[in-house]
């Protein structure tokens, strides 16, 4: 044993030095490697990167406030690279780079296989998750549907009906002095609306007793867990062993699927019934019926012949139409509460509009006795006002339009939108991006950048959207990116404005809102910028 200690160490064939030299050499190799790493990162704009783990630790530490974390870096650099294990994410906020990615070199920046692999479980082959021919066909079919006057007229009726239901709930809450969660109510309203407009189904989550809705809960849980996948390198292992967040995800998707397939079965049965009755005029104008018909005709614009494809259509439209709109309505309400001058100016616009429209239509406005009016008289007055709101007349509400747009500038419903990179490329500002990585345009940051909006970029100021003649002033879609831009620009933008303006005109004409004292308003990290704790308010009638 003693001898063994005295025997000089045998040099390894892989490391031919022995004794202390071996350790010094090893240290030198490690130091040189670190130096090379630091040298190659010297021009990197973004958080500090470490060998192998990249910036994972800093990113995880800031995960709960990631959008603001990025604001900090992007205000200094315009383009930021964040290294992650085995990949890197490039974040952009300069409209010139955004135009390059979303339009000029569009084909190089698809959703990509990484994004698809994360989202597949929820979105399947639906339009949000599709690239190439599969996307093109769905886009064509859906664009055609969105342009139809039938759908627009039907939507206006549905949006008015559900806004009035929401008004009824608020009216009762104001009388009872009850606290309400506006985000939850908006989510119910937009879910009911998209189910009616999208799939011709009445699901009634906005009925006065506010029933539990397991679909909505499971859908939200799935969305949160999928967002976590973007920074959780272990998610595939968790999925394989069916543990932790991935086990919960599987459960949530099961619930979501049960609901969705039941909607499809119901619509198919109704279509058969209408056909058997021979009453074609009873055929509904919803989007799902249209896709079912296309699938049956074999002219299915993207393969909608089977229930799985229809399931993907349904869920993609739910995610498109429900959360985005409800989230924007919630942030709008928060902005109006925290900017009383804006709320007052909006109210004046709505009252003037009401008087003018009533004159135009020859309507005598009912006297309802003010805020203490009895319920029936108050409801009648609200319904009378709602009757004056049409697709065309809502176009006259320029200040309301500006307030909604300003809300989206600072609180875009989709705060970050990642794209895959097919081939190495150089962005217009000289940043190199590598095939297989990801480039993300960041609407949340873009709205707050002084280089995009001037020194008051961070202030909520709807007036910036109105020109000297009092008309709405548009901005380049590559600078105001809340609806994306280029060939994949949001298809539901007009529909979303129609619904939001219909609801907000009614609510802000007849109610005032006060944030519940001490209620925290913060976003939650998920693909949509929803509020982590909802939006708890007290509401009062204001005739
Ligand atoms: C405030 C409301 C809304 C906002 C801020 C918004 C924003 C967006 C954004 C950022 C995208 C691109 C997402 C991506 O890269 O995948 C998008 C796509 C889309 N949106 Fe909207 N959206 C809104 C409402 C709606 C509504 C109400 C509908 C339909 C009912 C809708 C239908 C779509 C569709 C179908 C796409 C996919 C377009 C494509 O990939 O070709 N959106 N929207």
Residue showing tokens 């599987």: 250
502 burial level (CB within 10 Å; 0-12, 13-18, 19+): buried
Check if the beta carbon of residue 465 is closer than 8 Å to that of residue 406.
Answer: yes
pLDDT on residue 6: 38
Ligand 1 centre to CA of 154 (Å) is 19
Mutate to test the pocket of ligand 1, among 107, 290, 324 (most ligand atoms within 8 A of CB): 324
- The answer, yes or no, to whether any atom of ligand 1 lies below 6 A from the CB of 492, is yes
Residue with CA nearest ligand 1 atom 42:
492
Parallel/antiparallel/unpaired status of strands 425-426 and 179-181: unpaired
Give pLDDT tens digits for 218-277: 988 998 898 888 778 889 999 999 999 999 999 999 999 998 898 888 888 888 888 888
Residue 43 confidence class, pLDDT cut points 50, 70, 90:
low
Binding-site residue positions: 490
* Alpha helical stretches, state H, 13-91: 20-40, 56-61, 66-77
* Structural domain ending residue among the three candidates 427, 446, 465: 446
pLDDT on residue 39: 61
Residue 16 confidence class, pLDDT cut points 50, 70, 90:
low
pLDDT on residue 369: 65
Residue showing tokens 């066909």: 137
Residue 12 within any structural domain of the chain:
no
* Structural domain ending residue among the three candidates 446, 468, 494: 446
Ligand 1 centre to CA of 152 (Å) is 16
Give pLDDT tens digits for 268-285: 888 888 888 887 767 777
pLDDT on residue 5: 42
Q: 232 and 102, same structural domain?
A: no
pLDDT greater than 70 at residue 454: yes
pLDDT above 70: percentage of residues in the chain? 91
* DSSP characters over 269-315: HHHHHHHHHT-GGG----HHHHHHHHHHTT--SS--SSHHHHHHHHH
Mutate to test the pocket of ligand 1, among 102, 112, 492 (most ligand atoms within 8 A of CB): 492
pLDDT greater than 60 at residue 533: yes
Per the structure, the complete domain to which residue 55 belongs is given by 17-108+416-446
Give pLDDT tens digits for 95-153: 999 999 999 999 999 998 888 888 999 999 999 899 999 899 889 888 888 888 888 88
Q: 502 and 438, same structural domain?
A: no
* DSSP characters over 219-259: HHHHHHHHHHHTT-TTHHHHHHHT-HHHHHHHHHHHHHHHH
- The answer, yes or no, to whether any atom of ligand 1 lies below 6 A from the CB of 491, is yes
Residue 454 within any structural domain of the chain:
yes
- Secondary-structure breakdown of the chain: helix, strand, coil percentages, each rounded to the nearest 5: 60, 10, 30
Residue with CA nearest ligand 1 atom 31:
492
- The answer, yes or no, to whether any atom of ligand 1 lies below 6 A from the CB of 325, is yes
- The answer, yes or no, to whether any atom of ligand 1 lies below 6 A from the CB of 490, is yes
Give pLDDT tens digits for 411-446: 999 999 999 999 999 999 999 999 988 999 999 999
Strand partners of residue 539:
513
Give pLDDT tens digits for 507-531: 999 999 999 999 999 998 878 899 9
Residue 268 within any structural domain of the chain:
yes
Check if the beta carbon of residue 98 is closer than 8 Å to that of residue 478.
Answer: yes
Parallel/antiparallel/unpaired status of strands 536-541 and 179-181: antiparallel
Residue 51 within any structural domain of the chain:
yes
The token pair at 503 is 């609801």
Q: 123 and 89, same structural domain?
A: no
Q: 150 and 93, same structural domain?
A: no
Query: Which of 19-28, 230-239, 271-280, 470-479 comes out lowest in average pLDDT?
Result: 19-28
CATH number at residue 468: 1.10.630.10
Ligand 1 centre to CA of 45 (Å) is 30
Ligand 1 centre to CA of 321 (Å) is 7
Q: 97 and 29, same structural domain?
A: yes
Residue 258 within any structural domain of the chain:
yes
- The helix-helix angle for 182-199 and 307-318 (nearest 10°) equals 140
Q: How far is it, in rounded angstroms, from Cα 134 to Cα 113?
A: 14
Per DSSP, the three-state class of 154 is helix
Per DSSP, the three-state class of 47 is coil
Q: 288 and 216, same structural domain?
A: yes
Q: 182 and 171, same structural domain?
A: yes
Q: How far is it, in rounded angstroms, from Cα 431 to Cα 543?
A: 55
- Could you give the number of structural domains in the chain? 2
Residue with CA nearest ligand 1 atom 41:
488
Residue 333 within any structural domain of the chain:
yes
* Alpha helical stretches, state H, 362-476: 375-387, 391-394, 398-410, 443-446, 450-453
Ligand 1 centre to CA of 429 (Å) is 28
Q: 203 and 168, same structural domain?
A: yes
Higher pLDDT pick, 25 / 67 = 67
CA atoms within 13 A on the CB side of 369: 9
Check if the beta carbon of residue 173 is closer than 8 Å to that of residue 539.
Answer: yes
- The answer, yes or no, to whether any atom of ligand 1 lies below 6 A from the CB of 102, is no
Residue 42 confidence class, pLDDT cut points 50, 70, 90:
low
Q: 122 and 67, same structural domain?
A: no
What is the interface pTM, i.e. ipTM, of the complex?
A: 0.99
Higher pLDDT pick, 202 / 340 = 340
Q: How far is it, in rounded angstroms, from Cα 396 to Cα 16?
A: 82
Q: 420 and 387, same structural domain?
A: no
pLDDT greater than 60 at residue 504: yes
pLDDT on residue 47: 82
Of the candidates 131, 156, 157, 147, the one whose C-alpha atom is nearest the C-alpha of residue 491 is 147
Q: How far is it, in rounded angstroms, from Cα 315 to Cα 257?
A: 9
pLDDT greater than 70 at residue 36: no
Binding-site residue positions for heme: 490
* Structural domain ending residue among the three candidates 397, 427, 446: 446
- The answer, yes or no, to whether any atom of ligand 1 lies below 6 A from the CB of 317, is yes
Q: 425 and 363, same structural domain?
A: no
Highest mean pLDDT range out of 45-49, 217-221, 488-492? 488-492
Q: How far is it, in rounded angstroms, from Cα 492 to Cα 494?
A: 6
Residue with CA nearest ligand 1 atom 28:
492
What is the pLDDT averaged over residues 482-493? 96
Residue with CA nearest ligand 1 atom 29:
492
On average, the pLDDT of the chain sits at 88
Mutate to test the pocket of ligand 1, among 490, 497, 501, 529 (most ligand atoms within 8 A of CB): 490
What is the pLDDT averaged over residues 287-308? 73
pLDDT on residue 304: 63
Q: 216 and 72, same structural domain?
A: no
Residue 288 within any structural domain of the chain:
yes
Residue 9 within any structural domain of the chain:
no
pLDDT greater than 90 at residue 12: no
Of the candidates 267, 306, 272, 270, the one whose C-alpha atom is nearest the C-alpha of residue 287 is 267
Residue 288 confidence class, pLDDT cut points 50, 70, 90:
confident
59-78 burial string, b = 16+ CB within 10 Å, else e? beebeeebbebbbebbbebb
Ligand 1 centre to CA of 26 (Å) is 54
Q: How far is it, in rounded angstroms, from Cα 418 to Cα 139?
A: 19
- The answer, yes or no, to whether any atom of ligand 1 lies below 6 A from the CB of 127, is yes
């Amino acid at each position: 044993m003693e001898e063994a200690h005295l025997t000089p160490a045998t040099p390894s064939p892989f490391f031919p030095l022995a004794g202390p030299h071996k350790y010094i050499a090893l240290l030198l190799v490690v130091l040189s490697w670190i130096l090379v790493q630091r040298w190659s990162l010297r021009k990197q704009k973004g958080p500090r990167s470490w060998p192998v783990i990249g910036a994972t630790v800093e990113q995880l530490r800031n995960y709960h406030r990631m959008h603001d974390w990025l604001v900090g870096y992007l205000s200094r650099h315009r383009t930021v690279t964040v290294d992650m294990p085995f990949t890197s994410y490039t974040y952009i906020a300069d409209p010139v780079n955004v135009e390059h990615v979303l339009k000029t070199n569009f084909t190089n920046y698809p959703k990509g296989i990484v994004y698809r692999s994360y989202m597949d479980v929820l979105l399947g082959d639906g339009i949000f998750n599709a690239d190439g021919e599969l996307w093109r066909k769905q886009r064509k079919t859906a664009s055609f549907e969105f342009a139809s006057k039938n759908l627009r007229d039907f939507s206006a009726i549905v949006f008015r009906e559900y806004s009035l239901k929401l008004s009824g709930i608020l009216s009762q809450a104001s009388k009872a002095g009850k606290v309400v969660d506006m985000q939850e109510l908006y989510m119910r309203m937009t879910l009911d609306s998209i189910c009616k407009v999208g799939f011709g189904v009445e699901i009634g989550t906005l009925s006065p007793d506010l029933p539990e809705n397991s679909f909505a809960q499971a859908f939200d849980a799935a969305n949160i867990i999928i967002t976590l996948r973007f920074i959780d390198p272990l998610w595939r292992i968790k999925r394989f062993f069916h543990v932790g967040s991935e086990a919960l995800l599987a459960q949530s998707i099961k619930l979501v699927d049960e609901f969705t397939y039941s909607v499809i079965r119901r619509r198919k049965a109704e279509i058969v019934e209408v056909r058997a009755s021979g009453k074609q005029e009873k055929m509904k104008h919803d989007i799902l019926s249209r896709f079912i018909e296309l699938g049956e005709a074999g002219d299915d614009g993207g393969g909608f012949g089977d229930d799985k494809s229809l399931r993907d259509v349904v869920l993609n439209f739910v995610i498109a139409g429900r959360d985005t709109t409800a989230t924007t309505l919630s942030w709008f309400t928060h902005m109006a509460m925290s900017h009383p001058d804006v709320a007052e100016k909006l109210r004046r616009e709505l009252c003037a509009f009401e008087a003018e429209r009533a004159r135009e239509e020859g309507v005598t406005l009912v006297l309802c006795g003010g805020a203490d009016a009895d319920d029936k008289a108050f409801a009648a007055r609200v319904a009378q006002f709602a009757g004056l709101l049409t697709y065309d007349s809502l176009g006259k509400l320029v200040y309301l339009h500006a307030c909604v747009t300003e809300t989206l500038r600072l609180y875009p419903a989709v705060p970050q939108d990642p794209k895959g990179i097919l081939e190495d490329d150089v962005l217009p500002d000289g940043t190199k991006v590598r095939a297989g990585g990801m480039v993300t345009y960041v609407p949340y940051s873009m709205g707050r950048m002084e280089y995009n909006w001037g020194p008051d970029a961070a202030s909520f100021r709807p007036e910036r959207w109105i020109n000297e003649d009092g008309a709405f002033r548009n901005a380049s879609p590559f600078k105001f990116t809340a609806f994306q831009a280029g060939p994949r620009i949001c298809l539901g933008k007009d529909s979303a404005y129609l619904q939001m303006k219909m609801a907000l005109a009614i609510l802000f004409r007849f109610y005032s809102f006060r944030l519940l004292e001490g209620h925290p308003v913060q976003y939650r990290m998920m693909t949509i910028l929803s509020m982590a704790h909802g939006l708890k308010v007290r509401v009062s009638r204001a005739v």
